[in-house]
Amino acid sequence: MAKQYKKVLTIQDISCVGQCSLTVALPILSACGHETAIIPTAVLSTHTAFSGFTFTDLSEDIPEILRHWHEQGITFDAMYTGYLGSTRHIVYVKNILEHMSAEGCLRIVDPAMGDNGMLYPGFDQEYVDAMIELCRAGDLILPNITEACMMTGCEYRETYDEAYIEELLCALEHIGLTRVVLTGVSYNPETTGIIVRKNSVTKYYKHEKMARSCHGTGDVYASSFVGALLCGKTELEAAKIAGDYTLACMKNTQDDPDHWYGVKFEPVLGQLIEMLK
């Protein structure tokens, strides 16, 4: 019988206010029933959509954390990486993926580095190249279309058809990324969805598209996808659950214009738990 109580490590920054990164991943993975350990790569007063945020790099702490874990013989059943912030962080994380995995460990990389055709502030081609190497060290990646384009050199398009998405997926396979969950795939204004690609086989899950976008939904999606996958769901089942839960979080936030900085995911965690049953 497969082990049901998984020990998962998630490696991301902590934005103290803003409902993203670790403040999303930790509660969602825990709600899915998993023991969740963390490595914080940096501490920010808020996420970067706020003005005047503070930033404290925790790079110097990571080697000592790893040294102590090695002494204690700590390993993990799964690892999930999110926003990292620097190439130095990527080097550390790649080492963690390669050397701290338990037998059968599932290593999932969310290459969180851009959206809407642009890299996030502070990132450049050197960061993209390092992220490609990190993705190759993982088992499964969770890019959006922008991130997939950045890694492959494909042209970013706002509107596209299935042939364009197939070209993008083939380009990912060409650089060695064959197990992909591609988010934000929208063939018309009313719907969006998720592509699950494995061994050149493509499956698509489509759901309603909300008019108002929200910060942090990528982290909500990735965390709930990982949580569902570790509960024994197939990749397509996990993609559906994560998509439906993220949509529920957005709907729970739409009527509050003051809550612009994230989604109210906490009140609907019960829905996620029900979806997993």
| Res 3: pLDDT | 54
pTM of the model: 0.94
Which H or E run contains 246? helix 235-251
* DSSP letter (8 states) at residue 6: -
Alpha helices in 32-80 (DSSP H): 62-72
Domain spans, the chain: 7-270
pLDDT digits (tens, 9 = 90+) for 20-38: 999 999 999 999 999 999 9
Q: What are phi and psi of 206, to 5 degrees?
A: -110, 140
Q: What is the CATH number of domain 7-270?
A: 3.40.1190.20
pLDDT digits (tens, 9 = 90+) for 75-127: 899 999 999 989 999 999 998 998 887 789 999 999 999 999 999 888 999 99
SS3 20: coil
SS3 104: strand
Tell me the two tokens of residue 164: 């364009």
* DSSP letter (8 states) at residue 155: P
**Contact criterion met (CB below 8 Å) for 79 and 53:** no
Q: What is the pLDDT along the chain (277 residues), one digit of tens a residue?
A: 355 789 999 999 999 999 999 999 999 999 999 999 999 999 999 998 899 999 999 999 999 999 999 899 998 999 999 999 899 999 999 989 988 877 899 999 999 999 999 998 889 999 999 999 999 999 999 999 999 999 999 999 999 999 999 999 999 999 999 999 999 999 999 999 999 999 899 999 999 998 778 889 999 999 999 999 999 999 999 999 999 999 999 999 999 999 999 999 999 999 999 999 9
Q: Dihedral, CA atoms, 223, 57, 62, 263, nearest 10 degrees?
A: -10
